[in-house]
Amino acid sequence: MKIYLNIWKQANAKAKGKFEKYELDGVDAEMSFLEMLDSLNERLIKEGKEPVAFEHDCHEAICGCCSLYINGHPHGPDNETATCQVHMRVFKDGDTITIEPWRSKGFPVLKDLIVDRNAFDKIMAAGGFVSIDAGQAPDANANLVGKIAADKAFDAAACIGCGACVAACKNSSAMLFVAAKVSQLALLPQGKVEAKRRALNMIAKMDELGFGSCTNTGACAVACPKGISIEHIATLNREYLSASFSEAE
């Protein structure tokens, strides 16, 4: 099939970007979206033109770096799907596909479709960890965790930090990401030691890095490729309030 591409091109972080149009013929419906972009780049290189810069790695919806804004949707038209899982069969012959990078002050564009997502690493470094000396590995049943809590913690831990929640939010809030990382530890006994400062530090870092506030529109949860529930934001709010009262004492 033949498709028309409208792709954001930007030479570097300081350059002014713009959309450029491309035509690509002979696209197989069973191609992945990233294979389609590879095909485009192969043609551009043969023509002596600058290829489109984009990121990818695992192709298994684990790393999150393939993140693209496709036709107004983070990761494309499918629900709970990363860009690397999107196939060209979801598009039709003659379709125009607009591809953009994430749009957020916290994720500055580096080149074309690649953004700097180091802000998430900085948020994690602010508190998304357990620093106690665990010593040797304990027996599997030494710390009992109820199934409901374990399941919720596992669901929160599924977050791949791709940034789709930020891209979908009208405020560019990173609350769902922070909520998933805080909730994952708050639900487990291992995370209780640092609970009084984790939420405070991570939210403070999120604000410092230029992410917006949450107004509970729910767009973040809809866009999340791992289906992270907005309920985790409620958990984050409880952890934050609890830590705030402890700090005030």
pLDDT of residue 142: 75
155: pLDDT strictly greater than 80: yes
Contact at 8 Å (CB) between 124 and 181? yes
Tell me the two tokens of residue 223.
């866009």
- Split at pLDDT 50, 70, 90, the class of 134 is low
Which H or E run contains 247? helix 231-248
Mean pLDDT confidence for 166-190: 95
242: pLDDT strictly greater than 80: yes
Share above pLDDT 70 across residues of the chain, in percent, rounded to a whole number = 97
**Start and end residues for every CATH 1.10.1060.10 domain found in the chain:** 118-248
pLDDT of residue 247: 67
**Start and end residues for every CATH 3.10.20.30 domain found in the chain:** 3-110
Domain over 118-248 is classified CATH 3.40.1160.10: no
pLDDT of residue 239: 93
pLDDT of residue 245: 83
Domain over 3-110 is classified CATH 3.10.20.30: yes
List the beta strands (DSSP E) in the chain.
Answer: 3-9, 18-24, 69-70, 73-74, 96-100, 109-111, 114-115
What values do phi and psi take at 246, rounded to 5? -65, -40
pLDDT of residue 246: 75
pLDDT of residue 27: 96
Task: Quick: pLDDT tens for 35-49.
Answer: 999 999 999 999 999
75: pLDDT strictly greater than 90: yes
206: pLDDT strictly greater than 70: yes
pLDDT of residue 119: 97
- Select the more confidently predicted residue: 16 or 131: 16
pLDDT of residue 248: 59
72: pLDDT strictly greater than 80: yes
- Split at pLDDT 50, 70, 90, the class of 94 is very high
pLDDT of residue 87: 96
Contact at 8 Å (CB) between 47 and 38? no
pLDDT-wise least confident of 87-91, 142-146, 187-191, 223-227? 142-146
- pTM confidence score: 0.92
3-state secondary structure of 139: coil
192: pLDDT strictly greater than 80: yes
